[in-house]
């Protein structure tokens, strides 16, 4: 396969030669680095690459060029290099234009000139952009293949597990072409045994569970040590932050996640209000960066294991795992987060995983290409999902129970949804039924004011409503409110009328069991934002230190 291209555009021949040289020295082994001195030459170069079926990974262009400015060039280049990352070189006076370009054309990053020394100013930026591009474009030779039916709930769960654990794979629909049926017959599998997961130099898995799949992929499903300083239950932003801070400060740390790192945030197509990322970043990108930090500092990551109980054994807290096994630790941080509430409409549950989906990974949006899509929800997660789906779907209809999106969604998302030509918002509307043969084919909608009903044809419904905490596993040991959210700190004393079991006043974020803390969405009255979850996860480690110092 030919190397993907990096294209540089700068009207100053000396500057063009310098940026091309610096990029070629660092990335020339893996990328073809091309340099041109005008926007017109750049568009011609992209045409030549397209004719040769060569992919462009990154475009680096100067802003101040005659005839065609850098932002104008990037906009003109979009049809020829739709997936290329964009880096704008600017002077200080151009930063306002660069920031506007983030919203107007989706600019990925801007960099002030000069970029010397490149090891400090250029390469870290380009490293991140190229790493993001590589993650979004795994090659078909990655090896893992999944064979199944498009409308299979089990196949959907398998693909979701792989995507959320950042494992590249190739999907083969058994109903399209001959390859899928040939592979099924070669594996000796019946239709009821689909999906198949074919791993090079490994086992052929038939309808595998998450634990079986994780084990076959070499992911850790068991803890290594008999006792840890802290066990973190839940791998969302709060849990990952706790793991980074605990492990970096010398605590022996294990984090247990029942599905895949990232939580609900990990499924977001774009997180645009997270400090330090003016272009925004995907939930997958944030998760991968966080997991890399967790591993770098030496914390253990155990995936595909559900936690079913908690026991207090003197100074030790035991986390009980589904099936068999347990993890003992001197302290525990509960960061199990929340899940989207089930719709509860007639004939809807039978289509779960076969047209009805509770949340969705950003990568799943390509499956709705050219289709009519319906989405329920009015919070930020629903808004981001609608915008992401609208990039591929023919049309997206956002169903909102209330009269106004702005009451529950950030204004920047409301503005973008209202401006999108292929998104319609229907207020005061709910889904009351679904219909289909083998998969969703139609929905029945009801106007909450008039009571009038309407059936609409669609094979896609994405649900982003409410939030139910994952806390049943705590049983009666840890105090919770009537909805299951964990009570913490001094507030816990007031609400539960003295259920605190310790001899001292509880630390903030400490539950009714000394040494057991809660952070993020699972905690009562938490802010339900990624930034606040990360902050609480880090803060919980501060109180773990204080607790361990007293025991």
pLDDT-based confidence at residue 495 (cuts at 50, 70, 90): low
**Looking at residue 403, what is its pLDDT?**
93
- Per-residue pLDDT tens over the stretch 532-541: 999 999 999 9
516 bridge partner residues: 332
**Looking at residue 421, what is its pLDDT?**
94
Share of the chain above pLDDT 90, in %: 65
Residue 105 has pLDDT above 90, yes or no: no
**Looking at residue 93, what is its pLDDT?**
78
134 CB-near residues (< 8 Å, 6+ apart): 57
Q: Which one of 3.20.20.70, 3.50.50.60, 3.30.465.10, 3.40.50.10140 gives the CATH number of domain 230-339+468-549?
A: 3.50.50.60
**Looking at residue 496, what is its pLDDT?**
56
Q: Which of 57-66, 269-278, 408-417 has the lowest mean pLDDT?
A: 269-278
Measure the CA–CA gap between 249 and 362, rounded to whole angstroms. 33
Higher pLDDT, 474 or 132: 474
Nearest CA among 189, 108, 382 for reference residue 267: 382
Q: Tell me if 230-339+468-549 shares its fold with 349-463.
A: yes
Residue 498 has pLDDT above 60, yes or no: no
286 and 530 Cβ atoms separated by less than 8 Å: yes
Strand duo 145-148 + 196-198: pairing: antiparallel
Average pLDDT, the chain: 90
Q: Taking the domains of the chain in order of start, what are their residue ranges?
A: 5-136, 140-216, 230-339+468-549, 349-463
Query: For residues 158, 159, 164 and 166, what is the CA-based torsion angle, rounded to 10 degrees?
Result: 110
349-463 folds as FAD/NAD(P)-binding domain (3.50.50)
Measure the CA–CA gap between 276 and 286, rounded to whole angstroms. 12
Measure the CA–CA gap between 213 and 227, rounded to whole angstroms. 27
What would the mean pLDDT of 20-25 be, rounded to a whole number? Answer: 96
**Looking at residue 423, what is its pLDDT?**
97
Residue 170 has pLDDT above 90, yes or no: no
Higher pLDDT, 223 or 91: 223
- Per-residue pLDDT tens over the stretch 181-202: 988 988 888 888 899 999 887 7
What would the mean pLDDT of 485-509 be, rounded to a whole number? Answer: 79
Architecture category of domain 5-136 in CATH: 3-Layer(aba) Sandwich (3.40)
Measure the CA–CA gap between 447 and 63, rounded to whole angstroms. 50
CA angle 133, 36, 82 (to 5 degrees): 30
Nearest CA among 230, 143, 312, 156 for reference residue 548: 230
Higher pLDDT, 424 or 278: 424
What would the mean pLDDT of 1-5 be, rounded to a whole number? Answer: 81
Q: Which of 288-292, 318-322, 446-450 has the lowest mean pLDDT?
A: 288-292
Q: What is the pTM of this model?
A: 0.82
CATH 3.40.30.10 fits 140-216, yes or no: yes
**Looking at residue 139, what is its pLDDT?**
58
| Cα first-last separation, the chain | 59
CA angle 102, 108, 111 (to 5 degrees): 95
Residue 136 has pLDDT above 80, yes or no: no
- Per-residue pLDDT tens over the stretch 236-251: 999 999 999 999 999 9
**Looking at residue 138, what is its pLDDT?**
66
Q: How far apart, in Å, are the Cα atoms of 488 and each of 287, 473, 515?
A: 26, 17, 12
- Per-residue pLDDT tens over the stretch 328-382: 999 999 999 998 888 877 688 889 989 999 887 766 778 898 999 999 999 998 9
**Looking at residue 140, what is its pLDDT?**
45
Share of the chain above pLDDT 70, in %: 97
**Looking at residue 264, what is its pLDDT?**
83
Q: Which of 51-55, 260-264, 305-309, 392-396 has the lowest mean pLDDT?
A: 51-55
């Amino acid at each position: 396969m030919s190397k993907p291209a990096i294209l540089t555009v700068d009207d100053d021949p000396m500057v063009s030669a310098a940026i091309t040289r610096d990029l070629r020295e660092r990335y020339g082994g893996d990328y073809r680095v091309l340099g041109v001195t005008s926007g017109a030459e750049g568009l011609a170069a992209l045409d030549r690459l397209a004719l040769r079926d060569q992919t462009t990974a990154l475009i680096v262009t100067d802003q101040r060029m005659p005839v065609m400015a850098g932002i104008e060039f990037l906009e003109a280049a979009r049809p020829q290099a739709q997936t290329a990352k964009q880096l704008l070189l600017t002077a200080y006076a151009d930063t306002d234009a660069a920031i506007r370009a983030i919203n107007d054309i989706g600019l990925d990053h801007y960099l002030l000139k000069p970029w010397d020394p490149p090891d400090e100013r250029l390469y870290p930026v380009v490293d991140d952009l190229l790493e993001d591009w590589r993650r979004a474009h795994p090659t078909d030779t990655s090896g893992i293949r999944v064979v199944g039916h498009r409308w299979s709930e089990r196949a959907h769960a398998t693909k979701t597990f792989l995507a959320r654990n950042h494992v590249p794979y190739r999907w083969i629909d058994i109903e399209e072409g001959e390859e899928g049926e040939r592979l099924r017959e070669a594996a000796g599998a019946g239709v009821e045994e689909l999906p198949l997961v074919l791993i090079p130099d490994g086992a052929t898995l038939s309808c595998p569970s998450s634990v079986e799949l994780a084990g076959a992929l070499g992911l850790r499903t068991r803890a290594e040590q008999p006792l840890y300083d802290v066990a973190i239950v839940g791998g969302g932003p709060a849990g990952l932050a706790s793991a980074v801070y605990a492990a970096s400060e010398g605590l022996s740390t294990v984090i247990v996640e029942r599905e895949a790192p990232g939580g609900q945030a990990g499924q977001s197509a774009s997180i645009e209000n997270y400090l330090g990322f003016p272009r925004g970043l995907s939930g997958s990108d944030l998760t991968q960066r966080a997991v890399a930090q967790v591993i770098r500092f030496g914390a253990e990551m155990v995936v595909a294991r559900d936690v079913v109980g908690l026991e207090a054994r003197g100074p030790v807290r035991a986390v009980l795992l589904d099936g068999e096994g347990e993890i003992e630790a001197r302290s525990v941080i509960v960061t199990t987060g929340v899940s989207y509430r089930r719709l509860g409409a007639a004939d809807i549950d039978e289509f779960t995983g076969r047209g009805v989906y509770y949340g969705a990974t950003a990568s799943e949006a390509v499956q709705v290409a050219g289709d009519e899509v319906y989405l329920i929800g009015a919070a930020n997660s629903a808004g981001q999902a609608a915008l992401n789906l609208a990039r591929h779907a023919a049309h997206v209809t956002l169903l909102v129970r209330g009269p106004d999106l702005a009451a529950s969604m950030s204004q920047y998302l409301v503005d973008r949804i209202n401006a999108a030509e292929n998104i319609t918002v229907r207020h005061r509307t709910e889904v009351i039924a679904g219909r289909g043969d083998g998969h969703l084919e139609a929905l029945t909608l009801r106007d909450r004011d008039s009571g009038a009903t309407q059936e609409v044809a669609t094979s896609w419904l994405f649900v982003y409503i409410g939030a139910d905490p994952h806390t049943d596993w705590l049983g009666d040991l840890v105090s919770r409110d009537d909805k299951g959210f964990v009570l913490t700190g001094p507030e816990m004393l007031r609400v539960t009328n003295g259920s605190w079991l310790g001899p001292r006043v509880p630390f903030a974020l400490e539950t009714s069991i000394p040494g057991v803390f809660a952070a993020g969405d699972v905690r009562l009255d938490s802010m339900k934002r990624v930034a606040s979850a990360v902050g609480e996860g880090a803060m919980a480690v501060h109180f773990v230190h204080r607790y361990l110092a007293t025991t």
